[in-house]
A and B are shown apart, each in its own frame.
Chain A
Amino acid sequence: MTNPAAPRLAVSNISKTFGPTCVLHQAELVVQPGELHALVGQNGSGKSTLVKVLTGYHTPGSGGSVAVDGEHLSLPVEWAAAHRAGIAVVHQDFGLLDHLSVAENIGVGGYERTRFLRRVDWRRQREVAARVLGELQLDIEPTALVGNLSASHRAGVAIARAMRDLVPGGGLVILDESTRSLGRQELSQFHEMLRRIRSTGTSMLLVSHSLDEVLTQTDRVTVLRDGRVVGAGLATAEQSEQSVAKLMLGRDVDDVDTRPAGESHYAPGVTITGLSGPGAASLDIAIGAGEIVGLTGLPGSGFEQLPYLLSGATPASGELTIDSTALSLARASVAACIRAGVVLVPERRDRDGLAMSLSIRDNISLPTLTRHGRPWWAGRGWQATQTDDAIATLGIRPNAPMRLIQELSGGNQQKVLLAKWMSVGPRFMILHEPTQAVDVGARSDILNAVQRAAASGVAVLLVSVEASDLAAACDRVLVYDGPDHLTEIRSTDPDTILDAVYATAAAAS
C-alpha cells in the first residue's frame, strides 16, 4: 500500500535516446508531497522528454524506474495506470475547447454516465465540475462557455480538469509550460491558486521558462542541461536567477547591453501621424533613426494591435513618414511597407512568423526573393551567403541551413525569424514579443542583435509585455493608455514600467 514516508514522485535512472542522440541521460527527479517543484532547462535540454516519459508518450531506455507514493509504475508508463496513481497534466495553452461549457471541458476523458443508456449524465457532470471548482475556490458557473471566460478563469478550468480525479490532498499535477499565455495580473492569480493547491498536500511539477516565476513561486528546482540533471532538487530560497541560469547554460549569461541613460538625440527616423484602426484612434508616434522605443500596456487592452496596423497587415488609416517618404497606411499593402523598409517581426513565430515545415534558408530568403532573384531564376548563391551570415551573426544552432524550422529549439526559431526580417535591410523594424518563450541565452542574443541594428541607424519599435526587456533595451517606453493616448516614460527599472502600466489600469477602472 501507499507508503506515507515515500516521496510523491520518484523518478530514477531514466534515459532516452533518439537514434544516435541521447536526449535524457540517467535523469533523477524527486517531488515530495505538498511540494511545488520546478523543472527548468534550455530548449532541447530534455525536460519535455522527461515529462513525455511520465505521461507515457515516450518509452524510456531500460533500467529506470518511476514510483508514485512508493508504488512502482511499470515502464513504459501506461497513462491510465499513471492517472490512477495520481498523475495529472495541464497542457501547454490549456487544451480547452472554447465552444463547449466549463462542465464539458472539465469532464473530457471521464464523463459521468447514466446507468442504463450509458449516455452522459449532464446533471452529475455539472456537480463534478462544481465540486472541483469549489475545491479550487473558483467562482465559475459550470454551464458557462469557456470561450467567454477570462484568461485566469480558463487557467482555473484547465487545472480543475487535471484535478478532477485526484484524491483531495494527494496526487501530482504536471504544469507543462502552462503559464505562457497568461498576462502578469492573471499570472499572480494563477500563482495564488497554485499555493492554495499546495496547502492541501497535492504536489505540483512546474515546467517553466521564467526563472523569476521559478524562484518566487516554487520550493525546489531540478535543472537539466543536455539531457543530464545538473541540479537535483535545489532549494529555490538559496538560488538566484544568475546561479540557475549558469546551471542551465553551463556558462555565465551574457548580459543584455543596457542603453545609455539620459536623453540622447537622434536624427529624425519614422513619424507616424493620425494612426487609427482597431486599438488606435488618432495616435502620433515619432521614433528617431537608431532609437529603440518600447510600447507596452495591459495584456488584452489593444496595444497588441498596433504592430499589425503599422506594417500593413491589418487595415488602418494614418500616415507613416520614413526617410522623408510618406506612406498612407490606408492604402499601403504589406508588400508596399516592406519596400519602404518597414518590417514586422510578428509575435507567434509558429503561426505567423515561420513556415515550420520548411528550411532555415527558405524561411530567411522569403522576403527578398523578388529583390535578389529574377522572375525566371530565384538564384541560390545569394541565399546561401545570406543564410550563412545570419547563422554566424545571430549564433543560430545547428549551423545547418537546410535544417527544418520545426527541428530547432524555440530560441533558435526566434533568431531565424529575426534574421529573416533583418535580411530585408529595414529602416523601421517593429518587433512584437521578440523574446516570448525563449531561454535566457537566446534572449540576450536577440536583444543585443536588436541593439546592433539600432546602432546602424534603424528605428525600432519594441512591442512587449516583458518589462525587463523594455527596461534593458529601450531608450524610452510608451505606455498604452487607451486607443487615443500614450504615456512616455524613461526608465531602466522594470518595476517603474510595470507601475506605469498598472496605473493605466487603475485610471481606467
Chain B
Amino acid sequence: MKIETPSPQGIEETQYATPAADAAGATTALLTEARKSADRWAWARALSSRYALVLVWAVMAIAYLVIMPDKFGHMTSVQAIFGSQQLLVFLAMAALSTLIVGEFDLSVASVMGLGATIIPVLDGTHGVKIWLACLVALAACTLCGVVNAFFIVKLNVPSLVVTLGSGTLFIGIAKLLAGAGAVSIIPNNAFRDLTQLVVLGMPISFWYGLVLCGAFAYVCACTPLGRHLMFVGANREVARLAGIRVNRIRSGSYVTAGFLAGLAAIVVVSSVGGFDPTSAATYLLPTLAAVFLSTAVVQPGQFNAIGAVIGIYFLETGIFGLQLLGLTGWIQDVFYGGGLVFAVALATIVRQHSKSA
C-alpha cells in the first residue's frame, strides 16, 4: 500500500513539496552522497534503513499469498485489512501529538472510550440528538486533555503517572455512565454513512484517516509550527531559548490528543452503533505499537505520522493472515505485544546502522 498525499505547492522545490516527498528528497540526498563515495550498494542501504519495515510487510504479504492464494489473494482481504483500522489511525495521531513533543499520553484510549460511551448514553438512553451528543463527547474528550495538561505542565507531575491514573479514572466514569455492559445509539443511517459510506471501494472513514495522517505529516514537516514541535521534543531548553512558548506547546499537545481521541470516539460509535467501555483498554497497546513502529520507518529515529499508518496496516496484515490460518483470540495479543518490542528493536538497530554508515 502506497500512501500519497496531495502536493500542496509544486512551485518552490518539487522534491520538497510533500512530507512523503521530503523523505524521498532526503533519500535522494543520501543517494547522491552515496554515489560520490563510489559505494555501489550504499543506495540500497539508505533505502533499506528507511523502508525496512515496508520490505518486511511485503515479504509477509507475499508469504500469505503463497500459503493461501485463494483466501488471502482476494479483494475482500484488502478491504478487511484497510477498511477496519480507522479507529487506530485516529488514536495513533492522538498519541503522536504528544510523543512528537517529547510527552507521553497513556490515556488516549480511555479518553476515546469515555467519548464513545457518552454518545450512546446521551442518544440511546436520554434521547439527545446524535449530532449534539457527538459535540458533547468531543468537548468532554478535549476537557480530558485539558485536565492532563493541567497536572503535567502546570503542576509538573510526571506524565506517565498522570495519564496512567487519569486514563483509569476516565474509563471508570465511562463505566459509571454506561451502567452495566455495552450501550447503543438509536439506529441512524445518516450517522452511519458519516463513516461507512463506501467511496472507491473503501469506507469513507478510511479516507478520513489518510487525510488526517497527511495533514498531520504536512504540519510536522512543512510548517514552522511543526518544526517548533520537533525542537520541543528534541530539547526543551533549546526551544525555550529560541523564543518558543514551550509550555503552551506541551499543553496544546495534550488538548489536541484529547480532541483527536474524541474524533476517534465518533468514528467508532458511527461504525459499530454503540460501545462497551470495558473494551477501551484493548486499543491502547495496538496504538502504541503502531506509533513506536513509526520510529523505524520513513524518518528513522523520529515519530512520524506516515510511519504510524504504515505500522498500523503492517500489524493488521500480520494478524489478519494469521487469523485466516486459523489462529484466533490469543494471536492479537501476541502479535501486538511482540510487534511493539520488535518495533523498538528495529528502530534502534536502524538508528545505529545509519549512524555508523
Q: Chain A interface (Cβ within 8 Å of chain B)? A: 18-20, 311, 313, 333-338, 344, 346, 351-358, 362, 365-367, 369-370, 373, 375-381, 400, 402, 407
Using known A-B contacts A366-B231, A380-B13, determine if residue A375 contacts B224 with beta carbons closer than 8 Å.
yes
Question: In the complex the two chains form, what is the Cα distance from A335 to B244 in whole Å?
Answer: 7
Q: Give every chain B residue within 8 A of A18 (Cβ-Cβ).
A: 356
Q: Mark B230-257, 1 if CB is under 8 A from A, else 0.
A: 1100110111111111000000000000
Main DSSP-derived SS at the B contact region: helix
List B residues 1-38 near A (Cβ within 8 Å). 8-9, 12-13, 16, 26, 29, 33, 37
User: Which listed residue, B224, B230, B240, touches A373 by the CB 8 Å rule?
Assistant: B224
Which of chain B's residues have a CB closer than 8 A to the CB of A351?
235, 237
Q: Are B356 and A335 in contact (CB under 8 A)?
A: no
The answer on a CB contact under 8 Å between A402 and B234 is no
- Enumerate B237-285 residues with CB–CB distance to A below 8 Å: 237-245
Chain B's nearest CB lies how many Å from the CB of A220?
34
- Provide the bound-state CA to CA distance between A373 and B227, in Å: 11
Q: A224 → chain B, closest Cβ, in Å? A: 21
Q: Inside 8 A of A400's CB, which chain B residues have their CB?
A: 33
A375 with B234: CB separation less than 8 A: no
Contacts A355-B231, A357-B301: A377 and B222 contacting too (C-beta < 8 A)? yes
Of all chain A residues, the one with the shortest Cβ separation from B354 is A404
**B50: Cβ under 8 A from any A Cβ:** no
A352 to B234, Cβ gap below 8 A?
A: no
Most buried by B among A313, A362, A373, A378: A378
Whether A352 contacts B241 by the Cβ 8 Å rule is yes
Known contacts A20-B37, A380-B12; A344/B226 CB under 8 A: no
Which residues on B sit within 8 Å (CB–CB) of A336? 243
Q: Which of B13, B234, B243 contacts A358 (CB 8 A)?
A: B234
Which residue of chain A has its CB nearest to the CB of B218?
A376
- Tell which of B29, B243, B357 has the most Cβ of chain A within 10 Å: B243
Contacts of B223 in A (CB 8 A): 373, 375-378
Q: Report the minimal beta-carbon distance from B292 to chain A, rounded to whole angstroms.
A: 17
Q: List 20 A-B contacts (CB under 8 A).
A: A18-B356, A19-B357, A311-B241, A335-B243, A338-B242, A352-B241, A355-B230, A355-B231, A365-B227, A366-B228, A366-B239, A370-B224, A373-B224, A375-B224, A376-B223, A377-B8, A378-B223, A379-B12, A380-B13, A381-B12
Cβ-defined contact, B356 with A346, below 8 A: no
Q: Please, which residues of chain A bring their CB within 8 A of the CB of B194?
A: none
Question: Of A357, A370, A373, which one neighbours B234 at CB under 8 angstroms?
Answer: A357
**Is B40 an interface residue, CB under 8 A from the partner?**
no
| Distance between Cα atoms of A20 and B38 in the complex (Å) | 12
Distance in Å: Cβ of A301 to nearest Cβ of chain B: 23
Knowing A20-B37, A333-B243, A344-B241, say if A378 contacts B356 (CB, 8 Å).
no
**Complex alpha-carbon distance, A358 and B239, angstroms:** 12
Instruction: Tell me whether A338 and B243 are in contact in the complex, defined as CB-CB below 8 angstroms, given that A19-B356, A379-B12, A402-B26 are known contacts.
Output: yes
With A334-B240, A355-B238 already in contact, 17 other A-B pairs whose C-beta atoms are closer than 8 Å: A19-B356, A20-B39, A313-B240, A352-B238, A354-B235, A355-B239, A356-B234, A358-B234, A366-B227, A366-B231, A366-B239, A367-B242, A375-B223, A378-B222, A378-B223, A402-B26, A407-B355
Whether A354 pairs with B238 at a CB distance below 8 angstroms is yes
Query: Which residue of the partner chain B has the closest CB to A377?
Result: B222
Verify A369–B224 contact, CB threshold 8 A.
yes
B230 and A367 within 8 A (CB): no
- Nearest chain A CB to B235 CB, angstrom units: 4
Query: B45 → chain A, closest Cβ, in Å?
Result: 11
Chain A residues near B239 (CB-CB < 8 A): 355, 366
Residue B225 at the chain A interface, CB threshold 8 Å: yes
- Are A353's CB and B238's CB within 8 A? yes
Chain A residue nearest in CB terms to B219: A376
| Shortest beta-carbon distance from A144 to chain B in Å | 30
The contact of A378 among B224, B240, B243, by CB within 8 Å, is: B224
Bound: A352/B236 CA distance, A: 8
Measured in the bound complex, the distance between the Cα atoms of B33 and A241 in whole Å is 38
Sort A-B residue pairs by CB-CB distance and give the 9 closest, nearest first: A335-B243, A355-B234, A369-B224, A334-B243, A355-B235, A380-B16, A373-B224, A338-B243, A352-B237
Once the chains bind, are A358 and B230 in contact (CB under 8 Å)?
yes
Q: Does B227 lie within 8 Å of A362, measured CB to CB?
A: yes
Minimum C-beta distance from A93 to chain B (A): 18
Closest Cβ of chain B to A58, distance in Å, is: 12
Residues in B with CB closer than 8 Å to A362 are 227, 230-231
Determine the distance from Cα of A41 to Cα of B226 in the docked complex, in whole angstroms. 40
Complexed CA–CA distance, A338 and B26 (Å): 31
Question: Given the interface contacts A357-B301, A407-B355, does A378 sit within 8 Å of B13 by beta carbon?
Answer: no
Closest Cβ–Cβ distance, residue B355 to chain A (whole Å): 7
Quick one: given A313-B240, A380-B13, A381-B13, are A375 and B225 in contact (CB under 8 Å)? yes
Query: Are B9 and A334 neighbours in the complex by a CB distance under 8 Å?
Result: no
A355 → chain B, closest Cβ, in Å? 4
Inter-chain CA distance A338–B234, complex, in Å, is: 21
Cβ of B243: which chain A residues have Cβ within 8 Å of it? 333-338, 367
Residues of B within 8 A of A407 (CB): 355
Closest to A333 in B: B243
- In the assembled complex, the CB of A371 is this many whole angstroms from the nearest CB of chain B, namely 9
Given contacts A19-B356, A334-B243, A367-B243, A378 and B237 within 8 Å (CB-CB): no
Chain B minimum-CB-distance residue to A384: B13
Closest to A400 in B: B33
Bound: A380/B18 CA distance, A: 12
Asked if B242 contacts A378 (CB within 8 A), the reply is: no
How far, in angstroms, from A402 to B357 measured CA to CA in the complex? 14
Q: Given the complex, which residues of A lie within 8 Å of B244, measured CB to CB?
A: 335
Measured in the bound complex, the distance between the Cα atoms of B238 and A334 in whole Å is: 12
Q: How far is the CB of B84 from chain A (nearest CB, A)?
A: 33
Q: How far is the CA of A366 from the CA of B241 in the complex (A)?
A: 11
Which among B9, B37, B242, B356 has the highest number of chain A CB atoms within 10 Å?
A: B242
Closest to A359 in B: B26
